[in-house]
Chain A
Amino acid sequence: MQREQSANVATDLREGGVGCFDLLIEQYGDRLYWHLRRIVVQHEEAEDLLQDTFVRAYLLREQFRGDTESSLKAWLYKIATSLALKALQRRKRNIFASIDSVRGDLIATYEHESDPSADETLVRLQRAILALPTKQRLVFNMRYYDELPFEQISEITGDSVSTLKTNYHYATKRIKEQITTIEL
């Protein structure tokens, strides 16, 4: 039933009804907001990117070729991720710097954006995640928080499943090391 309904949503999406996008925003808005927030950290930026994601999806709806919920979800994640990475690129201090050079800024921003009443372990985990290289951070977030299968992450990032598994492995290893170092 769920699958059938999603297939209908995918067909409606291609036909371009605005009402269908309301449904889509209700269905994926929360997940995508948190996905974006974990990448850019700031609420205002995540909110702007969420708008841009759905507007972009609306404008590109003709190009959507999938007909299942998972392909629709992967398509939306792909648009959101690409917009968030572009936002990070704009934060770089110079054009020659790598996107990973914004990690320091992100951790500093997180100090203002963290929930003061949150569990200290969760805050520490978040700091460790923000210290990861961007690619590992993306894979870790999508696997750990969004619980997406590697095949779907592969559709979103365009990397092979084995590369993603390696990235995830290194990410978890680094996070463990980071948390242990902080504890010591």
Chain B
Amino acid sequence: MMKQMPYRIEEGAIERAKYRAKMAVREAANPTPAPTHRHYALRWVFSTLTIAATLALALFFYIDSQKMDFEAFVAEMHQAPLDVVNDMTADVIYYAEEENQL
């Protein structure tokens, strides 16, 4: 017969503690295998390759979008009305023909 203990304790707390102890023993009996050096090396290689591939894709899309913008501008210019073209070239300084002679 166990003597009465004047400690605060929730109902079922000892049963829970015993259950956790059982689980802890099971974990100790079947430990998760620790990662080997090969595991770490593979993880590093995989991470590096993923980062490189992501950067390459980003660069490709960036260059492609720049090219598309320029092509669209040229196409727009071909179809633009004359006054728009004149406006855009208004700042161009024209020199007399003879001034262009050496």
Contact = CB atoms under 8 A, between A and B. Distances in A.
Interface of A: 16, 18, 21-22, 25-26, 29-31, 33-34, 37-38, 41, 43, 46-47, 50-55, 58-59, 112-116, 118-119, 122-123, 125-126, 144-145
Interface of B: 2-9, 13-14, 16-18, 20-22, 24-26, 28-29
Q: Is the interface of B mostly helix, strand, loop or mixed?
A: helix
Q: Is the interface of A mostly helix, strand, loop or mixed?
A: helix
B2 A30 contact: yes
Contacts of A43: 7-9, 13
A47 B20 contact: yes
Most A CB atoms within 10 A — which of B18, B20, B21, B25?
B21
Contacts of A18: 25-26, 29
A59 B27 CA distance: 11
Contacts of B25: 18, 21-22, 25, 54-55, 58
Contact of B24 (A55, A114, A115): A55
